[in-house]
Structure 1
Amino acid sequence: MTERLVVIGNGMASLRFLERLTEAAPGRHDVTCVGAEPVAAYNRVLLSSLLGGEVDEAACTFRGLDWYAEHGITLVTGAPATAIDTAERIVRVGEGLVLPYDRLVLAVGSVPIRLPKPGMDLPGVITFRDLADVAAIRRAAVTGARAIVIGGGLLGLEAAVGLARLGVDTTLLHVMDRLMERQLDHDAAALVKAAMEARGVRVLLKADTAAVEGDGRVEALRLADGTVLPADLVVMSVGVRPATALAAAAGLAVGRGIAVDDAMQTSVPGIYALGECAEHRGQTYGLVEPAYEQAEVLARHLAGTPAAYAGTALSTSLKVSGLPVFSAGLVDVPEGAEAAIWSDPEAGLYRKLVIQDGRLAGAVFVGDVAEQGWCKTLIRTGAPVSRQDRDDLMFGRPAPQPLAA
């Protein structure tokens, strides 16, 4: 008999799980997938490109509706799950849909954080998280508009670049002393800042937002030091928090995220969680790679194959205004470790290796990220790093010599 499987959430993690499950155990489950957004899963990584007009919405699509039908998946869109009854094993959806389940997967993602400051509810303050946000930002980004992006992390940089591509007067505010402080050291962050400014984005560091001001809609943003910046649009990109409300109301164990074990199972047997909403061994992840690894594990587990998730060694690989950036492992150098650094600011090149106990503990590359795959493998495996390895990581491995005739 087929098991009734309900998946709440239809984002990138959910789709990857469904793809792998239908490959590993075709026909084993009667699957219903419920998504709060009105469209099927799409590529959130391309949102900044969509905002800037580099791609259209069709380019962000992963699977057409026919794919779900061909694989026997009932897809419900535009209908958020409202309650889970773990005793009756049912999920309530939208205005009255009730879905019974044998197994339940929560892939509900995360919710954007809004600063607890005055004026954050004014029209013109928009988060940058989904297709609806992109549409709202583009409507507000009219000719002559002045936009302020709050947040110097990955999403904030992407939003600012997208707005600048639209020809909008864009200012990026970040409360810390460098951009992407979790992934970059000061030297690498300075190169990223220069790349942003070269694309027309004004960057203000140590900029603490005090309030958004306006009569009926956004007119200005006031900093803690009293500086007032005129604004027609404020894009909030200060981070996300795991979406835990649905799970908590159902009595599941919740910390920062929905607590799961190595099989991605929650505190209630038969209910699983993965992606940005899940907390594994005290760690939550806001990146695609861990979500995909969790999806692989859960698909194998539900297909009856032993599988366990052991956590993900975090790395970041992106392009900021066309400038390749890679970061993995430790950014700062702990006591007892050493750093090897090569820097050419004029060429926009920077490489830093953090070596601890003869092993690669971290790497930051800007401008040329050709060795990023090797770095990730060395950090993940903890393999010893020789002097020759260090040279090759820093300057690139020599090209193979042609065989003698």
Structure 2
Amino acid sequence: MSVDAQTMLLLSNAIAFVAATFLLIEWRSLRERFLLSFALGFLCIVVGCTLAPLRQSGDFLLGVWLSNSMVPLAHFMFLLGAASFAQRRLSPAWFAAPLLCSALMAIPGLGDRDQVMSLFNAAFVAVFCLRAAGVLLEARRTTGSETRTLVATFVVHGSFYAVKAGCAFVPGAFVDLSSYSGVLIPISLFEGILVEVALAMSIAGALRRRREERATRLAESDPLTGLLNRRGFEARTRDVQQQGGSLLLIDIDNFKTINDCFGHQDGDRLLVDLSAFLAVRLPASAVTARLGGDEFVVLLPRIDEGRSLRLAEDLCTGFAIRQGADNCGTLSIGCAPVLPGVQDLSPAMRQADRGLYEAKSKGRNRACLAPCFSGSEARAGILPYPIAASG
């Protein structure tokens, strides 16, 4: 059963309208810029498809020129959406491309008008699509299946339009844009419908992945400091801990007294200040988390206990200087080694807690490395010293 060009145009219009509406609703909720760009792209297709029937009544300006100009403009918006999704910035020169395309299609006297318009239209669409695929690949945001589908869609669609531009002056390819005649016109409409569906499904998949990533970040992060929480720390260190290294257990001295004397707001500011201090002073490979209250933990991959102890001592000194002459809110730190290939950080955490207890016992504002557990103590979870109390 054959389907005429007008029917395919109507179907394309309906799909683009539904996709635009869905993306605009999602954009109002999430405020992701790439959603707005893709939605505007689909709206351009809706405008173009709505104006296209006017060409049958002889309206060149609206039915042919403006309708056809909407196609490269839509793909330029898709390019903006891809760049925003990949967190990349386009050169300002790209923003002049849609206007240049529309101007070139309006120039009279360049030969057969339909062929010239088809050439410029298809060429600009091909450039926008291939550039969109390149932007996504450059940013290496292709780990998700939906993103790979998005890249593949842009590559195939851009290649099709490159071929279409090369066929613009082939006899019979584009006979009359006003009557939708020509071999490539129905093929192009059919291919456009497939691309609209592929784009909409890819973006919906990307939205799902973004929601999952956002939910994971919220579940694994501490809302006050922005660091990982206990759950996030366990998830992030699951693979890193097998490399071996060291573990630091950090506690703010006299934190309860600070809260009681100065108020919880000042206590919260101290926690945030410590988080910022650790972000600057720790190596980039460190995994840092707030376990709760004023207790922080740091995993230092591939750093032995000697280097970690010196680093912990520098942290104590640096934070005390940061707090000023009042010396309010110093640090006590317990250090422990993490053996390569370890599957569980609990023994290292217990040993670091022993070091923390020793630092508190020796007067606070210092770092200590406690001796290792014996095998029987590690298996039984027996501690020679009590767990370090906060303060």
> Going by fraction, where is helix more abundant, 1 or 2?
2
Which range, TM-score by smaller chain? Answer: under 0.3
Q: Which has the higher contact order (CA 8 A, sep 6+)?
A: 1
TM-score norm. by structure 1 comes to 0.20
> Going by fraction, where is strand more abundant, 1 or 2?
1
Structure of larger gyration radius: 2
